[in-house]
């Protein structure tokens, strides 16, 4: 049994408070009070466990639902993949041809890595320099394997190219005058794919442009003709190793 001092009643006068104390007593045994307390705690624990179990059950149900949705999506994706594979099989010859083309391109990049692009070289020799230069002929020859890189043909100066010489090209044509020819030679000297340009011959040629009545004599006098002076030239140019490039490689060919 326990006793508890009760709070003071506001309706009680101060004199009565000093004489009589308000006391309440709990007549229940301690065993019963402890049993009730344990029962209340046990109920709270059971309720908490039930709440946790319900939360776990809801989470499991949600996870199962998401798993089923994911399985349906995987099944649909596998079906699409299978359909695409069937579509791909229809174009198997095209895919095979493309793969063979890629393989051939790689092989050509390896084999023709140091190929000499003659079209680019001829284009460079025709378009370099003044527009008045007319190229009439181009002939070339490559150096033999036994020749040294610094070997030069007779009548030319020693090679000044740092990349080595592969052969020689002879360019023949006409120019209005020697000054224009010198400008053409200087322009060739600035190129990296050719080097050591050397003029081997220069010939002055007088050409005549006759009128429709030319070639006839009138009263013992011949009609006058217009005369034009041109310079025929021959230039030897070395082909340098910078001209080597693969048409199928990433390295671009000069002169284009």
Cβ atoms of 240 and 114 within 8 Å: the answer is no
Report the helix count and the strand count for the chain, using DSSP H and E: 5, 8
Fold of 118-208+227-243: Alpha-Beta Plaits (3.30.70)
Residue 183 corresponds to which tokens in the numbers above?
A: 């400008």
Count Cα neighbours of 127 within 13 Å in the Cβ-side half-sphere: 9
User: Cα separation of 76 and 89, whole Å?
Assistant: 20
Q: How confident is the prediction along the chain (256 residues), in pLDDT tens digits per residue? A: 555 555 655 655 555 555 555 666 667 788 888 888 899 999 999 999 999 999 999 999 999 999 999 999 999 999 999 998 888 888 888 888 888 888 888 887 777 666 777 888 888 899 988 888 999 999 888 777 655 554 444 445 455 555 577 889 999 999 999 999 999 999 999 888 888 899 999 998 877 654 444 444 444 444 444 567 888 999 999 988 887 776 665 555 554 4
Helices 30-90 and 92-111 cross at an angle (nearest 10°) of 80
Question: What does DSSP assign to residue 131?
Answer: T
- Predicted confidence at residue 249, as pLDDT, reads 58
User: Cα separation of 172 and 130, whole Å?
Assistant: 15
Question: How far, in whole angstroms, is CA 204 from its chain's centroid?
Answer: 54
- Predicted confidence at residue 109, as pLDDT, reads 73
Q: What SS3 state is found at 25? A: strand
- Predicted confidence at residue 57, as pLDDT, reads 94
């Amino acid at each position: 049994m326990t006793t508890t001092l009760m709070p003071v009643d506001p309706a009680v006068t101060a004199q009565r408070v000093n004489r009589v104390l308000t006391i309440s007593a709990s007549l229940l045994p301690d065993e019963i009070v402890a049993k009730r307390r344990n029962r209340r705690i046990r109920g709270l624990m059971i309720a908490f466990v039930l709440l946790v179990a319900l939360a776990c059950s809801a989470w499991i149900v949600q996870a199962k639902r998401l798993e089923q949705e994911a399985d349906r999506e995987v099944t649909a994706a596998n079906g699409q993949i299978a359909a695409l594979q069937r579509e791909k099989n229809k174009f198997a010859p095209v895919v095979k041809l493309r793969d063979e083309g890629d393989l051939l391109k790689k092989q050509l990049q390896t084999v023709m890595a140091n190929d000499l692009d003659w079209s680019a070289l001829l284009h460079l020799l025709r378009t370099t320099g003044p527009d008045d230069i007319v190229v009439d002929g181009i002939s070339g020859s490559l150096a033999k394997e036994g020749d040294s890189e610094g070997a030069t043909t007779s009548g030319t100066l020693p090679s000044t190219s740092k990349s080595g010489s592969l052969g020689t090209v002879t360019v023949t044509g006409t120019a209005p005058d020697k000054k224009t020819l010198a400008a053409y030679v200087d322009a060739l000297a600035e190129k990296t794919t050719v080097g050591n340009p050397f003029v081997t011959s220069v010939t002055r040629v007088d050409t005549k442009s006759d009128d429709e009545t030319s070639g006839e004599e009138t009263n013992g006098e011949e009609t006058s003709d217009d005369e034009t002076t041109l310079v025929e030239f021959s230039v030897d140019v070395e082909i340098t190793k910078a001209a080597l490039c693969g048409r199928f490689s990433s390295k671009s060919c000069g002169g284009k």
